[in-house]
Structure 1
Amino acid sequence: MPLPDNIFEHTRLNPLYERRLFDLFKPFRLRTHVDILIVVDTQIATQPGVGFGIGSVIELLKNTTVGCMRFRVDIAQRSAGVPQVVANPADFQPKYTAFRFDMQDDGSHVIDKYEQIWCFGFNPDNNNGPDSNIDQPGAIPASNAELAKLASWMKIKQGGMFATGDHDYLGASMCRRIPRIGTMRRWTNADGVPPQFSPDRIDTLRPPGPAFEPGAPGGPAELANTPHQADTTIQPIQWVSWRSVRTSVFRRRVRPHPVLCHPTLGPIDVMPDHAHEGLCRDSGTVPLNGMYNFDGMGEQPEYPDATSGGAKPEPFVIAYGSTLGDPPYNFDKGPQPARSRFPMISVYDGHRAGVGRCATDSTWHHWMDVNILAIKGAGGSDWEKVKRYFINLATWLNPPGYSTDCLFLSAFTSHFTHVGFQEYSPKLSNLELGRNLYNHLILTYGPCWVTQWTLDLFDILKIRLFEEPQFPKIPDVCLTCPPFDLFEIHALGGLVRASLDDAALVHAAVRDDKSCDFKAKSLEDMMLPGVRSAIAGFVKEWQADLAQSSKLLKTLELKD
């Protein structure tokens, strides 16, 4: 795909090198544009500023860049009628009407044009009815033919899926049978969805001031969905440790999943509140042995085994919410118990199983304008964190190769920034080169994303260091266990070393005003062998250190 004109916008690149590098990268067809299809039922608006809609999120994605990555968004609206393609839709209007996941345009399936599909479902209705309503024709439930195409897209293209609804069975008609999406979140009464009313609802509203706190004069004021879901007071969430690295005998460093990691503000620990949220399935409770056969061609596993061995990849919760109790608080919808946590956001890394990644959210009220406009208007860290959640999902859900293309580009262009001019030399070790690149990358992406993209490199190379979702539990003191940081830094050092010669060609071409060409046909061909070599070298060092330690231990043996 063509390179964006502003491809180097966030690279801190010396401007003298921009045109030369732009011309050199043109033949590489880097995957820099991500096409996202957002699918909505008719009740959910897509224009910014409409309360019951997601227009502000769509606007945000269209105007966002993450390194070399740009997002293009089209809208599909599910309704009755004949599926139609709108040639030139107005801004924030559907490109596809009466949309079906298996619809075609000029002989090819529409969804094959997209890397990601995001579903915001409303149907069957908001009437708190029986599950039999879900598959009524008027609710436009996803058909077997649609689901067969979706399942194929998730397997062949490894496209990423996100889906959410709200309380009760909202969104179930579209989403409940989509592979993985349907079991990562609760969609039906049979699943145990939380209701809109009664003490069993999930009411996450938070008091906006002292008058709403227990003990306030005259009793706490009433918390109501209108207006308090729309104010600037948002709920705290509990992020889950995704990576845990021992930094000393007595200390560990933990990080959230990249979806909940802000590059400068740290963990994303807040979310808009709402009076009746839905519910994801908790880690370890998702049924992993389900099968589907939408096209009649034979049963397929919903959760495939890992393609390169190891444990079957599973969905896991990355954030929990909580509720305040009434009493002592005062909710207009009545009493509810205080809950220390409920599953709010769940993810599944399907790349290890040869399928696309998936994510689900307890409610679309974390996304809707009615919930986020005041937070956006107030600005500050709350809005920065909430909007980064949306951006992070768009970054994480990509098929394999998109994030690594941007990592390769960032690593190569770093040669022509302050870090390359000052800190790169062939005389340095991979550890030293990698540390310098790491410190450069986290300025833009933050440490969580550098780790995720390093793991993506290891997936390409079939290097299985650790099982998901967390590093294996090890004894409190493991003197033979190098921290993951060393693997990460050596891999980054391999990227730098592999590109030193080509970077020198560019330096000479700019200095002498001459042309130059890369020998490699892609940045992956240029840089990936360096990662393999660096990890192999580190393994040899590790083996040598183990042998040395073994000799030392023999000298320390106590005699009777």
Structure 2
Amino acid sequence: MNDNRATTSVLAPPRTIRVLMVTDGEASFDRADFGLATVVDVLEAPALPWARVEVTKAHRERNLPALSADLPAFRFDRHDLSAYDQIWMFAVARGGRPPLEETELRAVAEFMDGGGGVFATGDHEDLGVSMCGGVPRVRSMRKWHWPDPGPNGEPVAPSIDGPDRRDTLSEGHDPLFQLNDQSDDVPQVVTPRMYATSDSPRWAHQAHPHPLLCGPRGPIRVLPDHPHEGECYVPDDLGRTFTFDGYDTAEYPGGLAPEVVAWSTIAARPAELDPRKGRLNARTSGAVGAYDGHRAGVGRVAVDATWHHFFNVNLVGDPTVPQDPVKSVGFAASAAGLAAFEEIKTYYRNIAVWLARPATQEDMWWRAVWAARWHHRVSMDLRPGSLGAPDLPELLRIGAEVREVLAATATRADALQWAGRFGVGAVDARLWEELRPSLDPWLPRAGDEQPGHLPNLVSSLLPELVLDAVLGAVVHAVAAEFPEPTEQARERVAGVDWAAVVRPALGRALEAVAGQVARTDEVLRSVGTTLAAAGGRERG
């Protein structure tokens, strides 16, 4: 049963995430310095057993050499966007290029309002404004206009030079700061925003990065560096509406705001350390932005300060310096560089997973559960006699194993959100909303919001207990339904109503958790009363 070949054969086909990647100007999809071949390779590599990414490459130019695009001379209004889960825009052309026409903006807005995800990035000044400057949400989550504000009052983007440029270069291996330091094996360090579970006392505090910055070993804190990046920000006006070719769209439905989820820290340095660009002022600058449109019934959006976090020249080296053993190969120059690149690759994959439509995410969740059920670590630890009605300790034991297995492929953020939305939510939508502050720390909430009828301890102190019980119950239910890794099991899995399979076991597990929490809460209250009485006696 635990033979690796059998485990491989029983895995369900991965869910396909279809990405339309669009660029313009001098960018390409080949191995040139401003090429996207490396990031496409990372996305399409079979890194996840429960999902695979399929990239269609589109370029808005025609008759340029080495574009390596599947769709040259691309227009958004002349292509069926519904065939894709998400659109990635690597916008290079400046404001001198005509912007997207209203028919194209309508096509993109309808795609976004229909649940499609969008990722967008440019660089300093107005690089990228012609493609992205008018796209709802995208146009106000990142600065695109320069040297003047945009037509709707959008702020001016950072300049390429001057002491307030967004220069994220980290000190490399040679003296001074130079442009091609962006191609060495030393990344910039970023600060991810951390989200705390609600109502947690300081001694039980837990915090998590945004799902975009959640890695298998913790928060992702590195990105490629560059001497003049753009900037992500949060707009003041959340009520703007637009009409494109007769189609009306609210930019931020319900007033749900985007967030900056990671910042670059720019250290001050004197002019003599950078003879080319001069003095640099210290500051922080928005590196990554996110809008969780799923909470408002539309698609999610992610933006990045610069496409230099994705281009070949910042990842695999600068081809113009073949004599330099570090800058000619980029992150591959050292073990530390390769480790940083693995974190960056996870960021790329996180974008694809997070932007996926809710139905796609649910498919990925059940495939991840299916893969975890057959993982050798879990399958060896399942006790056949406990598959019928395991008690809480057994559920927690297996749930902890499943959580660690998922952490190798699905991030902790995905496990938290998916276990709640598609696990607990499959049993009782109201219950999920009450547990959500514990299992979904990214949920916008008022400062004094309290959880529902379950004991407060479940949402303030024991999110791990809830998560492990859910994961243990789900995998136990799947194992009871599919005890052997046969070809018949693999064929049957495609038509399974997963919610129906796990609902009874999950309901029993949550009842057991509630009972345990109530008992623990009673003990803590009793101890608290005793401590208070003792304190009173001492004061007397």
Normalising TM by the smaller chain, what interval? Answer: 0.7 to 0.9
8 A Cα contact 1:270 1:385, kept in partner: yes
Contact 1:242 1:469 in 2 (8 A): no
Matched residues in 2 for 1:242 and 1:231: separation?
A: 32
Matching of residues 408-557 of structure 1 within 5 Å = 408-416=366-374, 417-424=376-383, 425-426=386-387, 427-429=390-392, 430-457=395-422, 461=426, 462=429, 463-464=432-433, 465-466=436-437, 468=442, 481-504=460-483, 506=484, 521-527=496-502, 530-531=505-506, 534-535=509-510, 537-539=512-514, 541-542=516-517
The change in CA–CA distance for 1:334 and 1:486 in structure 2 (over 3 A counts) is same
Displacement of 1:202 in angstroms is 1.2
Is the CA contact 1:317–1:344 (under 8 Å) kept in the aligned structure 2?
Answer: yes
Q: Match of 1:35?
A: 18
Instruction: Give the match for residue 226 of structure 2.
Output: 274
Structure-2 change in CA distance of 1:146 and 1:525 (3 Å): farther
Aligned to 1:239: 192
Residue 77 (structure 1) aligned with residue 42 (structure 2): no
What secondary structure is seen at the aligned counterpart in 1 of 2:18?
A: strand
Question: Given the superposition, is the C-alpha separation of residues 457 and 536 from structure 1 closer, same or farther in structure 2, using an over 3 Å criterion?
Answer: farther
Aligned residue for 2:321? none
What residue is the counterpart of 1:177 in the other structure? 134
Instruction: Give runs of aligned pairs for residues 177-326 of structure 1, distance below 5 A.
Output: 177-189=134-146, 190=149, 191-209=155-173, 211-212=175-176, 223-225=177-179, 227-243=180-196, 250=203, 252-264=205-217, 266-282=218-234, 285-297=235-247, 299-305=248-254, 313-326=256-269
| Structure with more helix by fraction | 2
- Corresponding residue for 1:130? none
In the alignment, the residues of structure 2 paired with residue 12 and residue 94 of structure 1 have an alpha-carbon distance, to the nearest angstrom, of 43
Find the aligned partners of 1:145 and 1:277 in 2 and give their Cα distance: 30
Q: CA distance change for structure 1 residues 414 and 56 in 2, over 3 Å: closer, same or farther?
A: closer
Cα drift, residue 243 of structure 1? 4.4
Question: How has the CA–CA distance of structure 1 residues 301 and 529 changed in structure 2, closer, same or farther, with 3 Å as cutoff?
Answer: farther
CA distance in 2, matches of 1:197, 1:522: 58
The yes-or-no answer on 1:16 pairing with 2:6 is: yes
Contact 1:75 1:94 in 2 (8 A): yes
Contact 2:49 2:371 in 1 (8 A): no
Q: Is 1:243–1:470's contact at 8 Å kept on the other side of the alignment? A: no
Question: C-alpha offsets along residues 139-180 of structure 1, whole Å, 9 cap, x if unaligned?
Answer: 241122222222222222x12110000111111111122121
Q: CA deviation at 1:119?
A: 0.2
Give the letter for the 1:358 counterpart: V
- In structure 2, the residue corresponding to 1:119 is in which secondary structure? strand
Matched, 1:51 2:33: yes
2:322 maps to: none
Distance change >3 Å, CA 435–CA 63, structure 1 → 2: closer
Q: CA deviation at 1:51?
A: 0.7
Q: Quote the Cα distance in structure 1 between the aligned partners of 2:489 and 2:161.
A: 72
Shift of 1:254: 3.0
Deviations 1:114-153 (CA, angstroms, capped at 9, x unpaired): 111100112235xxxxxxx4xxxxx241122222222222
Partner secondary structure for residue 193 of structure 1: coil
Aligned pairs, number: 489
Could you say what secondary structure the match of 1:96 adopts? coil
Q: Secondary structure at the match of 2:175?
A: helix
Percent identical: 27
Per the alignment, in what secondary structure is the counterpart of residue 89 of structure 2? strand
Q: Note closer, same or farther for the CA distance 1:142–1:523 as it changes in structure 2 (3 Å cut).
A: same
- Residue 438 of structure 1 aligns with an amino acid whose one-letter code is R
Please, which runs of 5 or more residues in structure 1 have no aligned partner? 1-10, 82-89, 126-132, 134-138, 213-222, 306-311
The one of 274, 282, 286 aligned to 1:331? 274
Distance 1:331 1:337 in 2: 9
Q: Is the 8 A contact 1:412 1:503 kept in 2?
A: no
1:123 matches 2:73: no
Counterpart contact for 2:271–2:278, Cα < 8 Å: no
1:280 is displaced (CA, Å) by 0.5
Could you tell me which amino acid in structure 1 is paired with residue 284 of structure 2? R
Q: Name the residue aligned to 1:351.
A: 294
Do the aligned partners of residues 279 and 458 (structure 1) sit closer, same or farther apart at CA in structure 2, a change above 3 Å counting? farther
Which 10-residue stretch deviates more, 160-169 or 402-411? 402-411
The whole-number CA distance in structure 2 between the counterparts of 1:516 and 1:397 is 29
User: Cα distance, 1:72 vs. partner?
Assistant: 1.0
RMSD: 3.6
CA-CA distance at 1:54 after TM superposition: 1.7
Deviation, 1:361, is 0.5
Q: Identify if the C-alpha distance between structure 1 residues 286 and 527 changes in structure 2 by more than 3 Å, giving closer, same or farther.
A: farther
Task: Kindly indicate whether the alpha-carbon contact (under 8 Å) linking 2:381 and 2:398 is maintained by their aligned counterparts in 1.
Answer: no
Query: Kindly tell me: are residues 102 and 338 of structure 1, through their superposed partners in 2, closer, same or farther at Cα, counting changes over 3 Å?
Result: same
**Letter of the structure 2 residue corresponding to residue 112 of structure 1:** S
Shift, 1:333, TM fit: 4.2
Cα offsets for 1:183-208 (capped at 9, x unmatched): 11111131121111222321222222
Deviation, structure 1 residue 472: 7.2
Residue in structure 2 matched with residue 4 of structure 1 by the alignment:
none
Aligned to 1:84: none
From 35, 49, 57, the equivalent of 1:67 is 49
Q: What is the rounded CA distance, in whole Å, between the counterparts of 2:2 and 2:43 in structure 1?
A: 23
Task: Give, in whole Å, the separation in 1 of the partners of 2:220 and 2:237.
Answer: 28
CA distance in 2, matches of 1:249, 1:100: 52
Residue by residue, what CA displacement relative to the aligned partner does 1:371-403 show, whole Å, maximum 9, x if unpaired?
A: 211324325212222222212212221111334
CA contact (8 A) 2:332 2:338 kept: no
Q: Identify unmatched segments of 5+ residues in structure 2.
A: 150-154, 318-329, 450-455
In 2, are the aligned partners of 1:37 and 1:114 still within 8 Å (CA)?
yes
CA distance in 1, matches of 2:306, 2:208: 24
Which AA in structure 1 matches 2:166?
Answer: I
Task: Specify the code of the residue in structure 2 equivalent to 1:343.
Answer: G
CA distance 1:68–1:359, change in 2 (3 Å) = same
Partners of 1:393 and 1:334 in 2: CA distance:
33
Distance (whole Å) between structure 1 residues aligned to residue 283 and residue 508 of structure 2: 47
Distance 1:98 1:415, change over 3 A: closer
Q: Contact 1:160/1:358 (CA < 8 Å) preserved in 2?
A: yes
Deviations 1:37-75 (A, max 9, x none): 110113111102x01222211122222432221111111
